[in-house]
Amino acid sequence: MDALFDRHQPTLAAALKAVRERGYWSAYPEIPSGKIYGETAKDDGLASYSARLGKPFALPGHPGTAHIGAEVSPFGPALGITYPAADVDTLIAASQAAGSAWAEASAEMRVGICIEVLARLNRMSFEIANAVMHTTGQAFAMAFQAGGPHAQDRGLEAVAYAYAEMTRTPAQAIWTKPQGKGEPIVLEKQWRIVPRGISLVIGCQTFPTWNSYPGLFASLATGNTIIVKPHPAAILPLAITVSVIRDVLAEQGFDPNVVLLAADAPAAEVTVDLVKNRAVSIIDYTGSNAFGDWVRRNAGEAQVYTEEAGVNSIVVAATDDFAGMCANIAFSLSLYSGQMCTAPQNIFVPRSGIETDQGHKSFDDVAGGIAAAIDELLADPARAAGVCGAIANPATVARIEAARGLGRVIRDSAPVTVGDVRTATPLIIAVDDDKTDAHEEERFGPIAFIVAVADAGAGIEKAASLARRKGAITAALYDNDEHRIDAAVDASAKAGVNLSINLTGGIFINQSAAFSDFHVTGANPAGNASLTDAAFVANRFRTVMWRRPKAA
Amino acid sequence: MDALFDRHQPTLAAALKAVRERGYWSAYPEIPSGKIYGETAKDDGLASYSARLGKPFALPGHPGTAHIGAEVSPFGPALGITYPAADVDTLIAASQAAGSAWAEASAEMRVGICIEVLARLNRMSFEIANAVMHTTGQAFAMAFQAGGPHAQDRGLEAVAYAYAEMTRTPAQAIWTKPQGKGEPIVLEKQWRIVPRGISLVIGCQTFPTWNSYPGLFASLATGNTIIVKPHPAAILPLAITVSVIRDVLAEQGFDPNVVLLAADAPAAEVTVDLVKNRAVSIIDYTGSNAFGDWVRRNAGEAQVYTEEAGVNSIVVAATDDFAGMCANIAFSLSLYSGQMCTAPQNIFVPRSGIETDQGHKSFDDVAGGIAAAIDELLADPARAAGVCGAIANPATVARIEAARGLGRVIRDSAPVTVGDVRTATPLIIAVDDDKTDAHEEERFGPIAFIVAVADAGAGIEKAASLARRKGAITAALYDNDEHRIDAAVDASAKAGVNLSINLTGGIFINQSAAFSDFHVTGANPAGNASLTDAAFVANRFRTVMWRRPKAA
């Protein structure tokens, strides 16, 4: 019965060790190499992806009366894939019907199935990379990493936490209460994991797998049934995921409707009806603060876990590596055209400039240095396309237009022309914190502000205040004054934002590594949950006991 | 700095072991014996209690412009104690002002302080027993156990879970990511526990300490500041608790306002204003479903943990010990006049009766057997008073009056006349499940229904259905058919209610033992949280990181 658990037990054990120690560890290789994934893996993945285009997506046994789907690749072509679509009541009924047997399965059975699914998804990483690329606009290399192995690592991390929580209370115990000189009272007790019920996973367009896997696998491992509601522009990566889970479920004798896809069309989304449905017990949401707020207020008794958005800040106080700093910031601003919840938006710089290894740099020197580093990074169009990817949503292009007037343009956004792809390099605007608060609004996409402040301390204070008020998922500081670094550490902690200090090499503020970095703290308006901690998992099930006198 | 932690480390270690193994364990002796607590402890406790009567309660440094308090012992006299009372804004400001230093204290420091507080409270158990007795109406022995050692055990259990959660992620790690043939990327990472902020503990009248300690100590250990809002009729036990915590905090150099008392008067309660205050981040609530529903809907972004109420059921299907069963049920119905969230209300019995060690017993035989067992238990007035205690709230007396007409009276409630104490023995009413649903409404107090059902299976189904719809905290079954027992175990698990099977000796459905029994499952309308599991604690703080390249 637990053959899958036995097979994947070493992976689980390593994941459990990793989350306890939080050093570097990864279960799924991030390098899209033929040596790792097989020499034909890249071609095979593309072929598998291409074979899905222009036809209905097969999900055997999935409820659905309509076939819908209108995905268009940010790199150009329409995908032409349709997905089975059922009304909300049908999905809920199918999910409930599949629930009992899944709830009664052992923790080991469910965890074994989850890790088997992740192993299969890992082998499909090239196909998933294409699916992610052509729904999110991520360049291929990023789509592979973030959409494939990194997402799988995040899923495994959630499964590991789920297993740890489910096995924390023993399945049984003997309770022997002394009664002075009399015979003790002896009770036999047994505890059982009882899942909450239906878990709704609401995906986003930009990271359909990375942001959905933690909630999906945490709920699945703990015995809940799942309804996956993808963003209508990024259905395919989650449809493939659902398909793999359903395959493994069916092979193991479970109703595949334990996991369902709630595909919908852009103007006819079913999210509101799903959130309001009182049969839904858990909601994982990734998306805007405005809709996140609506979800939190309308979820009734359902547990809600959100990753929303924030305004991320970098404070530049001083550096021993001016070139490295500028290059590092340039990459963070350019990567996937800033369409990341972890991308920095505001760079606070003292009006009087900073001290560096290259001597004093004025405010304009710092702004110019970052702009020049972006120019250098993106000088080659092919490389630029590989870093920036494509703009996923036309609203982002409009947002760039609107932002140009908000301050002094240090570096204009420019289209990267590779075919007719909508992409854009970073727009960099200088503002003064005393004169505007334009930078305090989240402006998703390749839009950044170099914000003049009185001094480094003021920058730290402003960044923390912004995090507390508007939310922030990441923060960074460049400084060499250890007292000021300590103050920034304190301010960031109080504002509930993770702080990266003096990153100059191949690691960036945007990056959050599974098994080590918690993503989002849940301690400011950028989200109420953290990927993945115990709190993210422990309340997805309940523990119920029976007890009886033990026969002598 | 961590002297208290070192002193209490053995207690913590034993508590952590106990919650993992869930056999019998207790840190604080439940027997009110001079041999354990000191030969003069009983007299000293009464003297300490008596010395508090008729005067202002001293809480040095506690904000307050008014002195309020109108507690009247259910056993007769007014307590005449007044407490410092401040408006909500003043309390919030004082709580916030005390927050930073407490948040920055180490987990060990906070846990050491919590266990020192519990140790001191334990030594004051006789005084607290008097305070609990004269606010709740519990008889002395129960007030000692439930209000003293058992509550302290529940507090320690919460502290143990808090410590486990806070130390789950290491304080620091080195993250070394290989870079093929190049030098690895090496980051130093540090994590910090960040509490949510202000934690509001809303107490109830009947178990002011037992139900408040888990939330109070879980929040305190994890670094939050606390505002304790007692029921206006049961302030003293929590005022003593707050006083002890403030003493230890002050001794350890912390602002005692880390823990505040929000005393109020019956017609001028401040609960609504506290719940609505957006500075409150955590709410622990014990009380009615109606107000619990309001709290959950009006708490905004605050984490809410509730123990509300339910309708608890016993199913009598068969027994090998008819006399033991009747005596056990009789005690459960009589204890503290049924003023317990764990007391059974409905006893489902097959219309055609049951098989027992005394041969077949008709429905009326079973009802009569339970009634006779109550009569026997309460025959001696002094013993009756010791079991039943006093009625805490006149509404309960009115409820008994109103219930008499709901069915056939099998045993009438009678006053136990010890002085002019308001107390009442159980009212037992027979109804038929096919003809009424009067028993489906919660009727708090000494009111029980013997409910005729088609057969045992129907009883199990009815009990589970009631638990799902109205909530239930406890359930019991008497049966000797193992298949039917299995079915009841399944039904109870699905209804999210803990099941006690065939209790006939000195353990009762009402009893929930710290370190072994989870109290409330959080899986039905009787409450959304469980005392104490990881989910009860893990979300009371967040984890925030900083990372930086490690110097070579």
* Tens digits of residue pLDDT in A297-308: 999 999 999 999
- Angle formed by the axes of helices A213-221 and A236-251, to 10°? 20
Q: Is B547 on the interface with A (CB under 8 A)?
A: yes
Q: Is A50 on the interface with B (CB under 8 A)?
A: no
pLDDT tens across B334-375, in order?
A: 999 999 999 999 999 999 999 999 999 999 999 999 999 999
Residue A264 lies in a domain: yes
Residue A125 lies in a domain: yes
CA dist B346 and B440 (Å) reads: 8
Q: Residue B454 carries which DSSP code?
A: S
pLDDT of residue A129: 98
- Domain hosting A255: range is 3-169+196-309+529-542
Q: Is A16 on the interface with B (CB under 8 A)?
A: no
Q: For residue A23, list chain B residues with Cβ-Cβ distance below 8 A.
A: 173-176
A299/A356 same-domain check: no
Structure tokens at A55: 């036809």
pLDDT of residue A517: 98
**Three-state DSSP class for residue A13:** helix
Q: For residue A538, list chain B residues with Cβ-Cβ distance below 8 A.
A: 533-535, 538
- Angle formed by the axes of helices A149-166 and A213-221, to 10°? 30
A95/A120 same-domain check: yes
Pairing of strands B83-85, B66-68: antiparallel
Residue A510 lies in a domain: no
Tell me whether residues B194 and A543 touch, CB distance under 8 A. no
Assess contact for A475 and A371: CB atoms under 8 A: no
CA distances in angstroms from B46 to A54, B125, B181, listed in the order given? 84, 10, 76
Name which of A220, A277, A260 is nearest A103 in CA terms.
A220
Whether the per-residue pLDDT at B417 is higher than 90: the answer is no
CA dist B431 and B462 (Å) reads: 14
Q: For residue B498, list chain A residues with Cβ-Cβ distance below 8 A.
A: 544-547
pLDDT tens across A237-259, in order?
A: 999 999 999 999 999 999 999 99
Looking at every residue in chain A, the average pLDDT score rounds to: 96
A/B interface, count of CB pairs below 8 Å: 184
pLDDT of residue B511: 94
B539/B464 same-domain check: no
Using left for φ > 0, alpha for ψ between -120 and 50, and beta otherwise, residue A403 falls in alpha
B535/B438 same-domain check: no
Name which of B526, B551, B514, B395 is nearest B118 in CA terms.
B514
We report the CATH number of the domain holding residue A412 as 3.40.309.10
Using left for φ > 0, alpha for ψ between -120 and 50, and beta otherwise, residue B182 falls in beta
Q: How many domains does chain B have?
A: 2
A387/A271 same-domain check: no
Residues in Cβ contact with B330 at an 8 Å cutoff, skipping those fewer than 6 apart: B370, B373, B374, B376, B377
Assess contact for B124 and B45: CB atoms under 8 A: yes
**Secondary element (H or E) of residue B37:** helix B34-37
CA dist A496 and A473 (Å) reads: 9
pLDDT of residue B525: 96
Average confidence (pLDDT) over A211-234? 98
CA distances in angstroms from B397 to A39, A205, B6, B313, B394, listed in the order given? 81, 60, 50, 22, 5
**Three-state DSSP class for residue A431:** strand
φ, ψ of residue B275 to 5 degrees: the values are -65, -40
Q: Residue A127 carries which DSSP code?
A: H
Q: For residue A498, list chain B residues with Cβ-Cβ distance below 8 A.
A: 544-547
Q: Is B33 on the interface with A (CB under 8 A)?
A: no
Name which of B121, B80, B116 is nearest B210 in CA terms.
B121
- Angle formed by the axes of helices A107-123 and A125-136, to 10°? 80
**Three-state DSSP class for residue B518:** coil
CA angle at A122 for the pair A116 and A124, rounded to the nearest 5°: 110
> Other C-beta atoms within 10 Å of A294: how many?
15
Percentage of chain B surpassing pLDDT 90? Answer: 95
Name which of A210, A217, A159, A214 is nearest A8 in CA terms.
A159
Chain A closest CA to B515's CA: distance in Å? 10
CA atoms within 13 A on the CB side of B492: 33
Whether the per-residue pLDDT at A278 is higher than 60: the answer is yes
pLDDT of residue A442: 96
Q: Is B97 exposed, middle or buried (0-12, 13-18, 19+ CB in 10 A)?
A: middle
Q: Give A428's pLDDT tier (boundaries 50, 70, 90).
A: very high
Instruction: List, as one string, the DSSP characters of A78-105.
Output: B---BEEE--HHHHHHHHHHHHHHHHHS
CA dist A451 and A438 (Å) reads: 10
Whether the per-residue pLDDT at B1 is higher than 60: the answer is no
Residue B32 lies in a domain: yes
Instruction: List, as one string, the DSSP characters of B382-441.
Output: HHHHHHH---S-HHHHHHHHHHGGGSEEEE------STT----PPEEEEEETTT--GGGS
B173/B248 same-domain check: yes
Average confidence (pLDDT) over A384-390? 94
Residue B520 lies in a domain: no
Looking at every residue in chain B, the average pLDDT score rounds to: 96
Residue A524 lies in a domain: no
B220/B255 same-domain check: yes
Assess contact for B63 and B260: CB atoms under 8 A: yes
We report the CATH number of the domain holding residue B121 as 3.40.605.10
- Angle formed by the axes of helices B125-136 and B236-251, to 10°? 150
Assess contact for B358 and B324: CB atoms under 8 A: no
Q: What is the CA radius of gyration of chain B?
A: 25
Q: Is A534 exposed, middle or buried (0-12, 13-18, 19+ CB in 10 A)?
A: buried
Structure tokens at A346: 């505001």
Residue B492 lies in a domain: yes
Name which of B22, B234, B535 is nearest A165 in CA terms.
B535
pLDDT tens across B53-81, in order?
A: 999 999 999 999 899 999 999 998 999 99
Average confidence (pLDDT) over A26-31? 97
Assess contact for A385 and A133: CB atoms under 8 A: no
A20/A138 same-domain check: yes
Closest residue in B to A541 (Cα–Cα): B523
> Other C-beta atoms within 10 Å of B551: how many?
6
Residues within 8 A of A (CB atoms), B 191-230 only: 191-192, 194, 196
CA atoms within 13 A on the CB side of A3: 4
Percentage of chain A surpassing pLDDT 70? Answer: 99
Side chain identity at residue B289, one-letter code: N
pLDDT of residue B551: 81
CA dist A499 and A479 (Å) reads: 12
Name which of A311, A241, A229 is nearest A271 in CA terms.
A229
Q: Give B481's pLDDT tier (boundaries 50, 70, 90).
A: very high
Average confidence (pLDDT) over A207-226? 98
pLDDT tens across B80-126, in order?
A: 999 999 999 999 999 999 999 999 999 999 999 999 999 999 999 99
Structure tokens at B406: 């709901």
Q: Is B16 on the interface with A (CB under 8 A)?
A: no
CA atoms within 13 A on the CB side of A276: 7
Residue B513 lies in a domain: no
Q: Is A1 on the interface with B (CB under 8 A)?
A: no
Average confidence (pLDDT) over B137-155? 98
Instruction: List, as one string, the DSSP characters of A194-207.
Output: EE-SEEEEE--SSS
Tell me whether residues A500 and B547 touch, CB distance under 8 A. yes
A227/A277 same-domain check: yes
A116/A202 same-domain check: yes
Tell me whether residues A175 and B296 touch, CB distance under 8 A. no
Assess contact for A474 and A510: CB atoms under 8 A: yes
Name which of A302, A328, A212, A244 is nearest A60 in CA terms.
A244
φ, ψ of residue B112 to 5 degrees: the values are -60, -45
- Name A283's bridge partners: A200, A304
Of A294-303, A349-358, B4-13, B411-420, give the lowest mean pLDDT range. Answer: B411-420
A111/A225 same-domain check: yes
Tell me whether residues B535 and A538 touch, CB distance under 8 A. yes
pLDDT tens across A55-81, in order?
A: 999 999 999 989 999 999 999 899 999
Tell me whether residues B538 and A534 touch, CB distance under 8 A. yes
Assess contact for B195 and B541: CB atoms under 8 A: yes
Three-class DSSP labels, B288-355: CHHHHHHHHHHCCCCEEEEECCCCCEEEECEECCHHHHHHHHHHHHHHHHHCCCCCCCEEEEECCCEE
CA dist A40 and A460 (Å) reads: 50
A380/A352 same-domain check: yes
Q: Is B171 on the interface with A (CB under 8 A)?
A: no
Name which of B269, B268, B243, B271 is nearest B257 in CA terms.
B243
